[in-house]
Amino acid sequence: MTAPRIEIDLDKIRDNTRWLVNRLAPRGISVTAVTKAVCGHPDIANAMLEGGAVGLADARITNVRRMRSAGITCPILMIRTPMLSQVEEVATICDASCNTETAVVTDLAKATLRRDSCHEIILMVEMGDKREGIMPEDLTDFALQVTRTPGARLHGIGANFACLADAAPTPEKMAALSSLADDTEAVCGPFIETVSGGSSANLSWALEDGPVGRINNLRIGEAILLGTDPVSGRPINGLHTDVFTLLAEVIETKIKSKPVPLKLSDPALSALSLMPRHHWITRSILAIGLQDTNPAGLVFPAAITLIGSTSDHIVVETTNCPLSIGSEVALQVNYSALVRAMAAPDVTKVVLRNKRQTDYAAAERNGRYPAFL
């Protein structure tokens, strides 16, 4: 098959979504699945919806356009504050958007009125992440402006955590966001349908037994896609962590000398490239590089060590297992490596459809049955 490529297990995406939906539903929290890390890939989006997500969310209009073109009709939320240059299209193909600027809300409303419709607004509040957000003391005034703007409907409020400032949400922060929802309703009326508490970073809080207050929605991407907690980086028990596999082809394997740093008292001797003749290593080159992924975000097989990377090469060392030319190395990805690989035009995206049924059929032929069925 073509390399480099990233293989995507849709069964595991569906499983991860369903597990989170089932765990959060008794807490009164719905899941909006975030597709930005996978560039709005329609097959992945549909797997998330099949897993029980109430809608989708993305940060780029090109990704939303891709999903709409594929026939996805569910509610889609634009989670990055819309650009003024794109409000017409946002109003046309997104049901709702997260907002922090009155000028953007005004233009969205005008664009929506031209379609004889109404655009739903979620106001993002600054709760400590220091990225986007209305200051809490300004929220009620902003909300009043939205309620008085024809073509715009105040649908809810939301916040971000652990995106820029790496500050994890706390029960106190969640309680404060709930109070802001109450304060806004007291001024504007009973308009706050959604209180979107955050992202995958909120799961450690949301899955505990403490009160959730008014929080009734989370925007989840990383936990569904990678099965990990963005704050700690640790796997979340119950979720698959191997949804994506990045495969790279070996294009060179050589025995090369390994430099050994020597501490010499004489500067003249230190300048020499002195190297024991017996110190050799096996180095290989993979046909993938910085243009395709984030090498620092890859997990290599145990006997393979990352040495370095350039725009289109990754250099590795191997221990007692020289890699043959034309063979492939399977790599696991973290969030940054996934984002870059999914956006890279030279990385082929291969969707594994009905992999579970295929695995079962193969096992049945061999008289062995997978434990997950």
Paired with 120 in beta bridges are: 96, 153
Cβ neighbours of residue 88 closer than 8 Å, sequence gap 6 or more? 111
With a cut of 80, say whether residue 266 has pLDDT above it.
Answer: no
Domain ranges of the chain: 10-226, 244-352
In the chain, what percentage of residues exceed pLDDT 70? 89
Write down the pTM of the prediction: 0.88
| Protein fold of 10-226 | TIM Barrel (3.20.20)
- Give domain 244-352's CATH number out of 2.40.30, 3.30.1490, 3.30.70, 3.40.50: 2.40.30
d(CA 91, CA 149): 15
d(CA 198, CA 183): 19
Instruction: Give the confidence band of 190 by pLDDT, cuts at 50, 70, 90.
Output: confident
Cβ neighbours of residue 73 closer than 8 Å, sequence gap 6 or more? none
Residues in the chain: 373
Residue with tokens 């969030």: 335
Could you tell me where the DSSP H helices lie in the chain? 10-24, 42-50, 61-69, 87-93, 102-113, 139-147, 171-188, 203-206, 222-226, 267-270, 335-343, 355-365
With a cut of 90, say whether residue 354 has pLDDT above it.
Answer: no
Of 333, 327, 326, 330, the residue nearest 293 (C-alpha)? 333
Rg of the chain over Cα atoms, rounded to whole angstroms, equals: 25
194-251 pLDDT, tens digit each: 999 999 999 999 999 999 999 999 999 999 999 999 998 999 999 999 999 999 999 9
Per-residue pLDDT, averaged over 339-353, amounts to 97
| Cis omega (within 30 of 0) for bond into 190 | no
